[in-house]
Structures are given as C-alpha cells and as structure tokens.
Amino acid sequence: MVQHDALDRVFACLADPVRRGVLIKLGDGPATVGELAGPAEMTLTGMKKHLRILEDAGLIVTEKIGRARQCRLAPAPLDEAMAWISFYQRLWTRRLDGLDAYFTLRKGDDA
C-alpha cells in the first residue's frame, strides 16, 4: 500500500502545472526558490508551498546553502511512475494487438 501512496503523491504533483514547471526547470540543474518563483510569477511563500509538496512526494531535494535554499531533482519517484506507466502501456499494447489479430481473422473468415 505504501508504494501506491507514493505513486499517488507523484501523480498528484504532476497534475499541477506549477509543479510540472518546477520539475522542468530543475531538469536544467539546481535552482534557488527565488529562481523558481520568478518565472512562475509567484511569491516566495507560494512557491515554498509547492516545493514542500514536491519534496514530500520525494521528487525534489532542498538544502540550505548560505542564505538561499537550493532545490534539485530526485528522479527515483519519477522512475517508479514511469515503470508503472510502461507496465500498463505494454499491457494495453498486447490487448490491442490481440484485438487487431481477432478482427484480421474475422475479416478473412468473411471473405
């Protein structure tokens, strides 16, 4: 059940456009809270709330460096979400391939 809770948190984070934007920005490298808040046109307090949610989901890691708080990606939860998506992608591909084969056979029987 814990794995599902973690996956739920990851997908909940990805559902928010601000948090997706943060993850995209951090894909280019670490950034401070201020660097993340600026492009999002958001207050530091507002951005910190989003960052706390991302950190709780394990998607980012923050650390205090001097007076600034720096954020960086923690890709493991995204890897787990991608594995979940890939499993179901393969499952549905096999099912659709089987359906295609069925209709191809039926089409041959009608000829």
Q: Is 15 helix (H, G, I), strand (E, B) or coil?
A: coil
CB contact at 8 A, 49 and 64: no
Give the whole-angstrom CA distance, residue 88 versus residue 19: 24
Q: What is the largest CA-CA distance in the chain?
A: 77
Mean pLDDT, all residues of the chain: 89
pLDDT in tens, 4-37: 788 899 999 999 999 999 999 999 999 999 999 9
Q: Which CATH number is 47's domain given?
A: 1.10.10.10
Binned at pLDDT 50, 70 and 90, residue 3 comes out as low
Query: What residue numbers bound the domain in which 24 lies?
Result: 1-110
Question: For 58, left (φ over 0), alpha (ψ -120 to 50), or beta?
Answer: left
Pick the residue with more confidence: 41 or 47? Answer: 47
Give the whole-angstrom CA distance, residue 70 versus residue 86: 32
Please state the domain count of the chain: 1
Instruction: Write down the pTM of the prediction.
Output: 0.74
The per-residue pLDDT for 111 is: 58
